[in-house]
Amino acid sequence: HTVLIVSTDPAHSLGDSISQDVSGGQPTLLQGTDLPVYAMEINPEETMDQLRSLLKKVEDTQVEEQEGPAGMAGNAKLDFGKILEKVQDLKLDELLEDPPPGTDEAIAVAKVVQFAEKPEFEKFTRIVIDTAPTGHTLRLLTLPQFIALSIEKILRFRSVITQLAGQSKGDVAIDKLEELQRQMNDAQVLFRDKDRTEFVIVGIPTYLSVAESARLAKALEEEDVFVRHVVLNQILDFAAAEAEAAGGDSSSKVSADEAAARIRRFVESRMKDQQAALARLKSDPATANLELFEGPVINMEVRGVPALQYFASIIWSS
């Protein structure tokens, strides 16, 4: 597969993870691997600014049309005024100045849908979207519908205003809003298309993370989003830790033994907690049927393409 990894998280860490600048908003081929893997970060705030600009253009056009043609009847003007008040009551500009958490990411996902429709993106057979934490992700599932409905209200009122003003010419801003509305609707469909989309939950083996993963799995099921895998990172491997301790300096036998004993006690304690968390994950109805992949703790920071390739080989070989 030719893979594109896209980060829509406002707090981007994708570039840091692969040790490569992918902030240009266009697919960038990963260095350090022969695999056809590309990455890109989308700036959600930039996409929000574009939407604000569109709405400002719509608002400015409405003001220009408020008086209508010179021959408009008085009662028509009255109706027009009421409609304009309703448009203003939507307060969409205020919504965008202080949007609900996840709105920027929803707009960014719509941009991914837009990109995917371009010919130059046809080569990608897999697109991986790196989303924000759980709370944002859950809102991300419903916000496209919310935004699409808000745009629909604007378009509906705007259509009436245009008719009252006696104008039939095209409006570039409205055309772009209609396009965004379509992308939002497409995103809603895409999220729930089991033949094209799968959600993978990623966590660590702690009580809090497992509980959060279970809530997320349940919420995804309720939203009809397909999920069948969960990945838990930082799994402790006692055998590996013991072997590493045994490789210490033989000239300081006592010190090495003490170090090994400390490592053993620490690892056993952590493993006990992790096994309890794993048992909870496997017994929770929301996650019991998901295929589990375990990402072990290894003696290096997983950063950069070679390290990520090595880590991936460990996970998928399990």
Question: Which among 9, 104, 193, 273 is annotated as catalytic?
Answer: 9
What one-letter code names the amino acid at 27?
Answer: P
> What are the CA-CA distances from residue 98 to residues 16, 52, 274 (Å)?
29, 12, 40
**C-alpha span between 33 and 306 (Å, rounded):** 7
**C-alpha span between 7 and 39 (Å, rounded):** 8
**C-alpha span between 98 and 67 (Å, rounded):** 31
10: exposed, middle or buried (Cβ count in 10 Å: 0-12, 13-18, 19+): middle
Beta-sheet pairing, 37-41 with 199-203: unpaired
Distance of CA 237 to the CA centre of its chain: 31
**C-alpha span between 173 and 51 (Å, rounded):** 10
Per the annotation, the verdict on 9 as an active-site residue is yes
**Active site residues per annotation:** 9
